[in-house]
Amino acid sequence: MIKIFKTFGGYAEINEPLKGCWINVTNPSLDELSKLNVDYGLPTDLTNDILDQDERPRIEFDDDWTLIILRIPVEVKNNGVPFHTIPLGIFIAKDFTLTLCLQDNEVLPIGQPSPFRDQYKEITDSINFILRLFLRSGNLYLRYLKQINQMTSLIEQDLEKSIKNKELNKLLKMEKCLVYFITSIKANEIVLAKLRNSKKITTEINEDLLEDAFIENKQALEMAQIYSDIQSGMMDAFASVISNNLNVVMKQLTLISIILMIPTLIASIFGMNVPNFMENSFWAMPAIITGSLFLSFLGVLIFRKRQWF
């Protein structure tokens, strides 16, 4: 989908590109990709790079354009892993700025008229627009990290009494999300540093906005690393917990087998086809059953006294 806005704020949508406009492209079709290459002069190799899910963040300069790629977090509905990261490309040409992403996201939601309406009244240039994208990306990382922490807490509660690997696999997926986040945030921070130090950026950079973007990314990185360290320790601990829970279950089953073996042994002895001096007694059957139950009960008391049950 291609949407063209008169300014970077995205307040007024227009049908044809004008000088200084912003073009937002999400999940483009083949026809739209051809239009990007032919009408807007976006090179095919750059388009393929941006739409490559594994593309790393970078900044690239040319005589006629500037390309900035950052990785943003997205929520996944049916993939097991709840969050991962995808590249977002910003193509800055002389007459327009184009953003291109593989799928819909919360950094630049295609369905909203302006992603900055609540925060900013006016966005004057492309570089400060990019800094706001980094800032929004950092905020989104922090929000998703809090959700990951909440999911992890729920998994912990199930792991304390589990003897299966299902919950441990869920925890592993949370750890996978954190690895994605840490790698992407570190790469975004490098791009931010290059953007600040680049001599080819002639536009005056809003230092306060740049500092806010650095702080948000730094905070997201530190939080992701803390959560990752905690989860790594938890996975080792809960692997031992699952093993211990399984050992407890096996011990209980063994003790139950021993208790059930007592009446079985007595019944086997008295069931043999040999004289046992109780063949003609009326009380033989009740006495044997009573004795078996008594010995079984005695065994239970002994096990409980030793705290095996």
CATH number at residue 48: 3.30.460.20
What's the predicted TM-score (pTM) here? 0.75
Which of 213, 229, 244 terminates a domain? The answer is 244
Are residues 229 and 176 located together in one domain of the fold? yes
Burial state string for 261-285 with b = 16 or more CB within 10 A and e = fewer than 16:
ebbeebeeebeeeeeeeeeeeeeee
d(CA 133, CA 20): 18
Total domains in the chain come to 2
Which of residues 245 and 42 earns the better pLDDT score?
A: 42
User: Which residues span the domain enclosing 289?
Assistant: 247-305
- In terms of domains, do 227 and 264 share one? no
202 and 141 in a common domain:
yes
**Mean pLDDT, residues 177-184:** 90
**Maximum Cα–Cα distance across the chain:** 113
Q: Which two tokens stand for residue 72?
A: 């943003």
Radius of gyration of the chain (CA): 33
Asked whether 210 and 270 are in contact (CB, 8 A), the reply is no
pLDDT at 70: 92
Range with lowest mean pLDDT among 163-167, 190-194, 197-201, 253-257? 163-167
Same domain? For 145 and 219 the reply is yes
Q: Which amino acid is at 41?
A: G
pLDDT value at 295 more than 70:
yes
On whether both 201 and 213 belong to a single domain, the answer is yes
Give the residue-averaged pLDDT of 67-95.
Answer: 86
89 and 212 housed in the same domain:
yes
Boundary-marking domain end, from 227, 244, 261: 244
Supply the pLDDT for residue 122.
Answer: 57
Q: Are residues 157 and 204 in the same domain?
A: yes
Taking residues 132-136, report their average pLDDT: 88
Q: Judge if 209 and 261 occupy the same domain.
A: no
SS (H, E, C) the chain: CEEEECCCCCCCEECCCCCCEEEEEECCCHHHHHHHHHCCCCCHHHHHHHCCCCCCCEEEECCCCEEEEEEEEEECCCCCCCEEEEEEEEEECCCEEEEEECCCCCCCCCCCCCCCCCCCCCCCCHHHHHHHHHHHHHHHHHHHHHHHHHHHHHHHHHHCCCCCCHHHHHHHHHHHHHHHHHHHHHHHHHHHHHHHHCCCCCCCCCHHHHHHHHHHHHHHHHHHHHHHHHHHHHHHHHHHHHHHHHHHHHHHHHHHHHHHHHHHHHHHHHCCCCCCCCCCCCCHHHHHHHHHHHHHHHHHHHHHHCCCC
What is the model's pLDDT at position 43? 84
Q: What percent of the chain has pLDDT over 70?
A: 87
180 & 276 share domain = no
Question: Where a domain ends, among 244, 264, 288?
Answer: 244
Q: Based on the domain organization, do 45 and 191 belong to the same domain?
A: yes
Q: Do residues 284 and 238 both lie within one domain?
A: no
35/113 same-domain check = yes
